[in-house]
């Protein structure tokens, strides 16, 4: 890693940023690879990295239609946690959280994991029962989880309004202390640099427009930069899963929705944990820059436009101010949206497709950032061994016909 003194950094910034070394090569696509990964978001880059690192498969291209970090990997609100209800999901997200805990060292890139604790508030007796059930389930699965009553919430996060007169009073919360946030674009850059240094070609401005399929087997992809042959192709395109599946000739049970977020003006540190509420539809954390990072559930309509609607902003800010009255004095600075692919059980689809050699990883809905290292890790194994990693196996596409769903609408924590 290059190191600069403060003076050298200042000189470089005043000098127009000349002379920086590239974090990854500007690769020109070759005619053929062992594996082509469609989509250079967090999951695609992590898959490439683990293919190279864990399986010695380095003749790999990541094809990204835009620029690295233009998708959800850098549009998300950076919450990382593993407190999912069912055994299958708890195992998957906990596997990911463990990888997060060593990721900066592993990539030699500071992904700024901040295990500041995540509170999921409960506002009704039914939510209290559901939340406590989730805490017990988490504990049985070795996931750290605690139940805090109203007083405990106030001690852990004094800024929250726990007044009983609230329309949706805070009755308690689940707390995962090992959960928190990570720096989203650093995750993309860290995986990109580490994959590149192991020989992976990262090709930006290269859209995959079609698939070459012969006798039920994928043989390559068509792109805006020409045809590329590959016996294995992996689709990892977040909000465009069904678009790509249609190009390959099969269908997926996914709906694409906008999910938006916004940030306030920066203020001094006031909030040292993450607070989420599924009932009143708001969540908030404070970034290192001091901005409050605020989000809610999906916009209910389907869309591929990367922006959300005003009613969602209005209602989430109403909920925010009820929970944190002092935030009513803040100005909001900017908002943005990303497209999330939502599956019927709010769990991802990871594994084989009906086409031999073509793999799919998507449908992470509102919650795939936290899964980035775990998803890449198990997907690389699945591609390398041509057999699902045990943690990926329950998340196969067949579950929508067998009925073996993994319903995580509750633990998804952001309404969808």
Token code pair at residue 71: 């998708």
Across 224-236, b (16+ Cβ under 10 Å) vs e yields eeeebebebbbbb
Of the candidates 239, 238, 203, 227, the one whose C-alpha atom is nearest the C-alpha of residue 67 is 203
Furthest-apart CA atoms within the chain: distance in Å = 66
Position among 170, 203, 261, 273 found at the interface with ligand FAD (CB under 6 A): 261
Residue 49: left if φ>0, alpha if ψ -120 to 50, beta else—which one? Answer: alpha
Q: Using the rule CB under 6 A, is 353 a contact of ligand PYC? A: no
Strand partners of residue 222: 210, 227
* The total number of residues written for the chain in this structure: 416
Q: Strand 274-277 relative to strand 282-286: parallel, antiparallel, unpaired?
A: antiparallel
Which residues lie closer than 8 Å to 391 by C-beta, 6 or more apart? 88, 91, 92, 95, 374, 378
Q: Which of ligand PYC, ligand FAD, none does residue 413 bind to, with CB < 5 to 8 Å depending on kind?
A: ligand PYC
User: Which of the stretches 73-81, 186-194, 319-327, 384-392 binds ligand PYC when contact is defined by CB under 6 A?
Assistant: 73-81
Helix, coil or strand: residue 188: helix
Residues 271-310 that bind ligand FAD (CB under 6 A): 295
Q: Which of residues 81-100 bind ligand PYC (CB under 6 A)?
A: 81
Q: Which is nearer to ligand PYC, 248 or 411 (CB)?
A: 411
236 binds, among ligand PYC, ligand FAD, none (CB under 5 to 8 A by kind): ligand FAD
Q: Between residues 118 and 171, which has the closer beta carbon with respect to ligand FAD?
A: 118
From candidates 114, 174, 223, 366, binder to ligand PYC by CB under 6 A: 366
Q: Single out the residue of 36, 38, 228, 358 in contact with ligand FAD (rule: CB under 6 A).
A: 38
In angstroms, give the least distance from the CB of 205 to ligand PYC: 28
116 in Cβ contact with 288 (< 8 Å): no
What the block records as the tokens of 377 is 């890790």
- Smallest gap from residue 28 Cβ to ligand PYC (A): 36
244: helix, strand or coil: helix
Smallest separation, CB 266 to ligand FAD (Å):
19
Span from 74-82, 150-158, 160-168, 323-331 in contact with ligand PYC (CB under 6 A): 74-82
Decide if residue 41 touches ligand FAD (CB under 6 A): yes
Pick 63 or 275: Cβ nearer ligand PYC: 275
* Contact call for residues 211 and 354 (beta carbons, < 8 A): no
In the region spanning residues 289 to 308, those forming contacts with ligand PYC, defined by CB under 6 A, are 295
* Residue from 147, 283, 324, 327 binding ligand PYC (CB under 6 A): 283
Q: How far apart are CA 163 and CA 8, in angstroms?
A: 52
Q: How, if at all, do strands 118-122 and 172-176 pair?
A: antiparallel
| Interaction site with ligand PYC (CB under 6 A) | 77, 79, 81, 283, 295, 366-367, 413-414
| Interaction site with ligand FAD (CB under 6 A) | 38-44, 63-66, 70-73, 75-79, 207-208, 236-238, 240, 259-261, 295, 338, 340, 364, 366-370
């Amino acid at each position: 890693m290059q190191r600069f003194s403060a003076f050298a950094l200042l000189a470089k910034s005043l000098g127009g940023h000349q002379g920086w070394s590239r974090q990854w090569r500007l690769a020109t696509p070759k005619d053929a690879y062992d594996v082509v990964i469609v989509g250079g978001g967090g999951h695609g880059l992590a898959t490439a990295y683990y293919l190279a690192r864990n399986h010695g498969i380095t003749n790999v291209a990541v094809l990204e239609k835009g620029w690295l970090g233009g998708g959800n990997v850098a549009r998300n609100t950076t919450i990382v946690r593993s407190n999912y209800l069912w055994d299958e999901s708890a195992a998957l997200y906990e596997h990911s959280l463990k990888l997060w805990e060593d990721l900066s060292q592993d990539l030699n890139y500071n992904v700024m994991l901040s295990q500041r604790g995540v509170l999921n508030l409960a506002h009704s007796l039914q939510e209290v029962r559901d939340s406590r059930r989730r805490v017990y389930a988490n504990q049985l699965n070795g996931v750290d989880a605690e139940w805090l009553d109203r007083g405990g919430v106030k001690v852990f996060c004094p800024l929250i309004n726990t007044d009983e007169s609230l329309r949706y009073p805070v009755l308690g919360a689940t707390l995962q202390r090992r959960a928190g946030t990570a720096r989203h674009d650093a995750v993309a850059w860290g995986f990109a640099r580490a994959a590149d240094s192991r020989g992976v070609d990262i090709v930006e401005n290269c859209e995959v427009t079609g698939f070459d399929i012969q006798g039920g087997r994928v043989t390559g992809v068509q792109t805006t930069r020409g045809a590329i042959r590959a016996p294995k192709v992996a689709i990892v395109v977040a909000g465009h899963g069904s678009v790509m599946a249609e190009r390959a000739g099969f269908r997926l049970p996914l709906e694409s929705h906008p999910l938006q977020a916004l940030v306030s003006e920066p203020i001094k540190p006031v909030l040292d944990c993450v607070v989420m509420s599924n009932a009143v539809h708001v969540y908030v954390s404070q970034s290192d820059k001091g901005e409050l990072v605020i989000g809610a559930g999906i916009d209910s309509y389907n869309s591929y436009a990367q922006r959300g609607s005003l009613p969602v902003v209005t209602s989430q800010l109403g909920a925010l101010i009820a929970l944190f009255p002092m935030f009513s004095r803040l100005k909001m600075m900017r908002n943005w949206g990303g497209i999330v692919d939502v599956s019927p059980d709010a769990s991802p689809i990871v594994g084989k497709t009906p086409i031999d050699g073509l793999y799919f990883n998507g449908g992470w809905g509102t919650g795939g950032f936290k899964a980035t290292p775990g998803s890449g890790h198990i997907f690389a194994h699945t591609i390398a061994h041509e057999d699902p990693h045990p943690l990926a196996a329950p998340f196969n596409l067949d579950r929508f016909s067998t009925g073996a769903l993994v319903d995580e609408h509750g633990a998804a924590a952001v309404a969808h």
